[in-house]
Amino acid sequence: MRNTINRYFFNEFISLFALILISISIIVWIVQAVNYLDFVTDDGHAFSIYFAYSILNIPKVLNRLIPLVFLISLLATILQFEKNNELLVFWTSGLNKIRLVNLAFKISILITLFQLLLSVIVSHSSLNLARTILKSSSISLFPSLVKEKKFNDTVKGLTVFVEKKKSNGEMLNIFLRDDTATRDDQERTELSKTIIAKRGYITKRGVQNILVLYDGTIQTEKTNNKINFLNFDKTEINLSAFSTKTTTYPKLQENNTLDLLNCFKPFLDKEETNITEVQCAARIDDITAELNRRLGMPLYVPIISIIICYLLSSRKEGKFYFFQKYIVFSAAFSVLVFAEIMVRYSGQTVLNSIIYYSLPPSLILLNYLNLIRIFKFENVGK
């Protein structure tokens, strides 16, 4: 009988948890996906790159929402059971209240392990893959980014000005400045190029965008402060050789967890441990805060389960039951807010990190003992 009740409670909770998590994640993902449209409209990436990047950000969204969704789901499950008098059936059938607390705590451990899997392994790997895809993509929508009478600097080191753009794609009176020589190789004798052409257009050859220019002049600035002029009837520029201004190096949250941990071992050879300059270039307190977010935030989920179980100490006919559910929700939500704020400062000192990791077990133990004290006179069965 007890196993049947446990399975029933677990199934009801998991169904509601999955439904809420998926629903809220879709909403948040859509909002983020709209923000990522800049990759297409401003940076010229293809829609396939945009969709791949957006989808690969889903694990990050799930990871950030799990604690709040767990709170809402467990609270809603207990309130629904109370509303339907199912909790009363549990008590009269001999279920000890503290056993239901233990069940909720075990469920929270499963959710914690799931979130740890996402935060430690899946999330950063997915984000890193998204960044890799973005880095390896070409500027496939460059033609649509060139606007009339506007300096277009979508790509690094290249500025384009077009006086007029016809409906067939032909451009008139083109100004182009190429600063890639200065940016990429300081030993080059050429510092920059300025190209002025009467007309031109962009054509696609395979996966490459080619800018074809007619009737113009190339002005090349040399390191000896001289400028060379070259007139041309036709010239071509491979736009695929240029990259966008989109950030392509991995951010801190996209780095492997083990690599971040290795940043605390300065005596190790970076080449042997495959630690890049980007990974350990961040301040050590930022790296600590990121690790604490991955490893510490999931530990606050079990606290939520214990706090929500205070609802089991009252009946819906009670005088303060209406207020108690709001008090319990506020208390649990405050813990999540505190954990979110604390993790940002946890990397500043060792003491902050110790406090951050010591709070979950301390709060769990204190509240669990308090629930035992409250329920010891209410148990109707063992």
Q: How far apart are CA 18 and CA 36, in angstroms?
A: 26
Sign of CA dihedral 191, 196, 200, 201: positive
337-373 tens-digit pLDDT: 999 999 888 888 888 889 999 999 999 999 999 998 8
Least confidently predicted of 2-11, 125-134, 261-270, 324-333: 261-270
All residues at 6 or more sequence positions from 371 whose CB lies less than 8 Å from its CB, including other chains: 98, 101, 306, 309, 310, 313
Statement: residue 89 has pLDDT above 80: no
| Pair 77, 9: CB distance under 8 Å | yes
| Pair 193, 219: CB distance under 8 Å | yes
Vertex 283 angle, CA 279 and 286, to 5°: 85
| Pair 305, 107: CB distance under 8 Å | yes
The pLDDT of 193-202, averaged and rounded, is 85
All residues at 6 or more sequence positions from 227 whose CB lies less than 8 Å from its CB, including other chains: 219, 220, 221
**114 φ, ψ to 5°?**
-65, -45
Q: Give the residue, 35 or 300, on which the prediction is more confident.
A: 300
CA separation, residue 31 to residues 40, 54, 128, 317 (Å): 16, 10, 21, 41
Q: How far apart are CA 69 and CA 308, in angstroms?
A: 13
94-105 tens-digit pLDDT: 778 888 899 999
At residue 184, the pLDDT reads 44
pTM of the model: 0.71
Q: How far apart are CA 57 and CA 349, in angstroms?
A: 31
When pLDDT is cut at 50, 70 and 90, the band that residue 376 belongs to is confident
Of 44, 49, 51, nearest in space to 244 by CA: 44
Count CB neighbours of 40 within 10 A. Answer: 18
Q: How far apart are CA 136 and CA 123, in angstroms?
A: 20
331: Cα within 13 Å, side-chain hemisphere: 18
Q: Is 187 exposed, middle or buried (0-12, 13-18, 19+ CB in 10 A)?
A: exposed
Statement: residue 248 has pLDDT above 90: no
- 3-state class of 266 per DSSP? coil
All residues at 6 or more sequence positions from 96 whose CB lies less than 8 Å from its CB, including other chains: 375, 379, 380, 381, 382
Q: How far apart are CA 222 and CA 205, in angstroms?
A: 32
Least confidently predicted of 193-197, 299-303, 317-321: 317-321
| Pair 209, 202: CB distance under 8 Å | yes
Statement: residue 277 has pLDDT above 50: no
